[in-house]
């Protein structure tokens, strides 16, 4: 499996299926990639129209809660997760042949050969892992300094 370097000091892969953990790792990594870009873009001034959107990235959660946007987010993410759970269930318990994180979306044919697919999977998992650290770091830096991008 792409990105597997044998590092599991707590032995979690003996308790939980590695496919489930890889699916979660990819999902969280993809979300963190988008979150990092959105966090920084908001602090650089790229926002939606309207006064309610003219806030810093750190204050955005509180404003979204105040205006009721978080409930909508929960609804739509829950809707998407329902279909995601079906795909993961088929991968885990029905041996569908689906690989973790694969939604068969490759319109530009980046993964046209098995070698290219393996290379892209390695790149993706590395970037996902980096994005999880990067988003944690950018939020921490923004909160600690109280400043916008570049947070120092």
Q: Encode pLDDT of 79-119 as tens digits.
A: 999 988 988 999 999 988 888 988 888 888 888 898 999 99
pLDDT at 122: 93
Q: pTM to 2 decimals? A: 0.87
pLDDT at 2: 75
Q: Could you check whether the bond before residue 8 is cis, i.e. omega within 30 degrees of 0?
A: no
pLDDT tens digits for range 66-81: 888 889 999 999 999 9
Nearest to 134 by CA among 39, 8, 47: 39
Query: CA angle 35-73-24, nearest 5°?
Result: 55
pLDDT tens digits for range 133-146: 999 999 999 999 98
- In the predicted model, is pLDDT for residue 1 greater than 90? no
- In the predicted model, is pLDDT for residue 40 greater than 90? yes
């Amino acid at each position: 499996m792409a990105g597997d370097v044998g590092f599991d000091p707590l032995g979690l892969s003996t308790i939980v299926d590695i496919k489930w953990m890889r699916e979660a790792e990819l999902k969280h990594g993809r979300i963190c990639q988008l979150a990092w870009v959105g966090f920084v873009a908001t602090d650089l001034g790229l926002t939606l129209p309207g006064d309610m959107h003219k806030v810093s990235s750190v204050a955005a959660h509180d404003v979204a809660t105040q205006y009721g946007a978080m409930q909508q987010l929960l609804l739509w993410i829950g809707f998407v997760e329902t279909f995601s759970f079906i795909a993961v269930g088929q991968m885990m318990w029905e041996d569908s042949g689906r690989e973790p994180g694969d939604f068969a979306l490759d319109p530009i044919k980046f993964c046209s050969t098995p070698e290219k697919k393996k290379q892209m999977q390695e790149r993706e998992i590395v970037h996902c892992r980096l994005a999880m650290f990067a988003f944690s770091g950018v939020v921490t830096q923004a909160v600690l300094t109280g400043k916008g991008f570049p947070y120092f």
